[in-house]
Amino acid sequence: MKQYSHSKRLKERREMLLKSLELTKQLTPNQRYDAFLELQEAMIETYFQGLRARNPELTHSELLVVAKKEQMGNVS
């Protein structure tokens, strides 16, 4: 049963991926790269918003020190 629901979820994910790929394929490589850059920017914004929310008293330079500690100890 567990395996069945896992396969079902996997199938649904793949169907979703295919739908998004249909849209992606209409873009040129440069347009895809621009979309990627926007995602990268959103990721970094989200990360620093989270840091700011957890450390509202810190300045940007101090937040960077926290980021350094978190990220440099977080390498796989």
Partner 1 sequence: MSVNKFTTFFRQIIDSLSQYNLPYVLVGGTVMPYFGNIRSTQDIDIMLLLDEITSDKLENWLEYLDSIGMVFSKSEIIYALNNNIHCNIFDPQTFVFRVDLKRINTKLDLLTYEYRQKVNMNNRDVWINCPESQIGVKISPGFRSSTDLEDVQSIIETMDIDSKRLEKFLNITASYNFCCKLLRDFNTKRSAKLRQDLGCQT
Site for partner 1, rule CB under 8 A: 13-14, 17-18, 21, 24-25, 29-30, 32-37, 39-44, 47-48, 64, 67-68, 70-72, 75
Nearer Cβ to partner 1 (41/62): 41
Which structure tokens are listed for 45? 């914004």
| Kind and range of the H or E run holding 65 | helix 60-72
Spatial distance between the Cα atoms of 3 and 56, rounded to a whole number of angstroms: 45
Nearer Cβ to partner 1 (62/70): 70
Task: Write down the least CB distance from residue 22 to partner 1, Å.
Answer: 8
Spatial distance between the Cα atoms of 4 and 16, rounded to a whole number of angstroms: 18
